[in-house]
Amino acid sequence: MFKQFAAISLMNLQTLPQRIGASSVIVIGIAGVVAVMVSVLAMSAGFKHTLADAGRAERAIILRGGSDAELNSNLTRTDIATISNAPGIAKDADGRALLSSELVTVVNVPKVDTGTDANVTLRGVGLTLTGVRPELTIIDGRLFRPAVRELIAGAGAVKEFRGLTTGSVLHLRNADWVVTGIFTSNGDVHESELLADVDTVGSAVERTGYSSAIALLTSPDAFTAFKDALTTDPQLKVDVQREPDYYAAQSRPLTRTINIVGNTVALIMAIGAMFGALNSMYSAVSARGQEIATLRAIGFTALPVLLSVMTEALLLSLLGGMLGACLAWLFFNGHTVSTLGGEFAQVVFKLRVTNTLVVTGILWACAIGLLGGFFPALRAARLSVADALRAS
C-alpha cells in the first residue's frame, strides 16, 4: 500500500507545474494567513520580552500598598529609611544598601514619526543606580551628576522621540535639562526612559516623596524574608513584589489584547484560505479524474489515492506556511515601534518573530491544508471508476 501511495504522490507532484495557477492559490492564501498571524503576534512577543527583561529575580520593587503601578505610588523618606534596613538587601563596597529610591514622572516629548507629543517616563533614580541595575551601560557620553539638571536617555527613547541625542537640551517645566549620555539596558523597558537624579527630579516637579524603591537582594531566595519583614512592619503600608512578577503584570493587558486580535483575525483569514484550498484541490482532483480512475482500474486502492491528495495539499500548505513566516521575519523581525504601556507612558520595543511563533504559524498552515485537502481527497477516493473513465 505504501508503494502505491508513494507512486501516486510522486506522479501528482510531478504534474504540479501544470497546475501552477490553482496550486499557488493554496500557497499564497496560506502564506497570507501565516504572515499576518506571525507579524501581529510578534508585537505582543516583543512587548512582553521588553518588559520581562527588566525584571531580575533577585530584585524587588516596593510600592505603596494598593497602588498597582509606580506612577500612582507614593513613598515617604521615612518609608525609604525603614526599607533600607530590611534584611536581605545587598550592600556595595562601602557598605551602603543597594536600594534605589525612584520617582517616576511622565513628560511630553514629541515622537519622531508623527511629531505629536508622547508621554515619556522621566525616572528619578538613586545614586546606587549602577549597583542596583548592573545591566545599565552608558554607550555614549557620561552619567548625569546629582544636583544639576542632567539626564541620560535610553537607546530606544533616542530613536523614537525627538531631541534626545547627547548634548541636546530638553526644556522641562521652566528649566533646561542637558542630555549627558545614552544608555542601554539589555533592551528592556528602561531603554524607553529618561533617567536623572531622584532629588533633582523631585525638586523640579515639587514632590518630596518617591514612587517606588528598587532593592537588589543578596540572592533570589532572600526575597521571602525581605518581603515578610516589610509587610509585617506596622509602620509601613507597602506592596513588595519580585521585579519579574511586577513587569509581567504590567505587560499582561496589552499582550492579551494583541493576542486576541491577532488570533481572531488569523482564524477568520484561515477559514477564507481553507475555502481557497478546497477550491484548488477540488479542481485538481476533477482535472485528474480520468487519471485517478485509470489507476483504480489497474488495481490501486482508495486509501493511497486519498492519502496522496492529502499529501499534495499538505505540502503546498507547508510551503505557504514557511513562505508566510519568512515574509513576517523579513519585514518585521526587529522592527522598532512604541506604544502606550501600562504606566501611561511610552514603551519602545522591537517586534520579535520567535521560533515558537514560526512553528505555530506552520502548524496552522498544516491544519488549513489538511482540512482543505480532506474533502477533495475523499471525493477522489470515492470516484466511480466507470463514470470517470467515460467522462470526456
Could you list the residues that contact another protein (CB under 8 A)? Answer: 21-22, 24-25, 28-29, 31-33, 35-36, 39-40, 65-69, 71-72, 74, 105-108, 111, 113-114, 116-119, 172-174, 205-206, 237, 257, 260, 265, 268-269, 271-273, 275-276, 278-280, 282-283, 337-340, 344, 346
Q: Which residues contact 237 (CB under 8 A, 6 or more apart)?
A: 64, 65
The two beta strands, 194-197 and 117-125, are: parallel
Cβ nearer to another protein, comparing 56 with 123: 123
The nearest distance, CB 142 to another protein, in angstroms, is 25
Are 328 and 34 within 8 A, CB to CB? yes
Can you list the pairs that 109-116 forms with residues at least 24 positions away whose Cβ atoms lie under 8 Å?
109/157, 109/161, 109/162, 109/163, 109/164, 109/170, 110/161, 110/162, 110/163, 111/160, 111/161, 111/162, 111/338, 112/159, 112/160, 112/161, 112/162, 113/160, 115/162
Cβ nearer to another protein, comparing 53 with 160: 160
The nearest distance, CB 88 to another protein, in angstroms, is 27
Name the percent of the chain in helix, strand, coil, to the closest 5: 55, 20, 25
Using alpha carbons, list the distances in angstroms from residue 381 to 98, 122, 304, 345. 73, 68, 8, 60
The nearest distance, CB 140 to another protein, in angstroms, is 25
CA distance 240 to 247: 13
What burial letters (b/e) apply to 93-111, b meaning 16+ CB within 10 Å?
Answer: eeeebbbbbbbbbbbebee
The nearest distance, CB 10 to another protein, in angstroms, is 25
Cβ nearer to another protein, comparing 267 with 303: 267
Cβ nearer to another protein, comparing 10 with 260: 260
Phi, psi of 305 (to 5 degrees): -60, -45
The nearest distance, CB 244 to another protein, in angstroms, is 19
Are 37 and 44 within 8 A, CB to CB? no
Cβ nearer to another protein, comparing 96 with 111: 111
**Other C-beta atoms within 10 Å of 2: how many?**
8
Cβ nearer to another protein, comparing 260 with 363: 260
The nearest distance, CB 222 to another protein, in angstroms, is 28
The nearest distance, CB 339 to another protein, in angstroms, is 5
Cβ nearer to another protein, comparing 279 with 294: 279
Phi, psi of 281 (to 5 degrees): -70, -35
H or E stretch at 237: none
Cβ nearer to another protein, comparing 63 with 216: 63
Cβ nearer to another protein, comparing 137 with 339: 339
* Closest-CA residue to 5 (of 302, 357, 267, 212): 302
The nearest distance, CB 357 to another protein, in angstroms, is 16
Cβ nearer to another protein, comparing 9 with 317: 317
For residue 389, list its beta bridge partners: none
List the end-to-end C-alpha distance of the chain, in Å, as a whole number.
29
Q: Which residues contact 269 (CB under 8 A, 6 or more apart)?
A: 32, 33, 36, 37
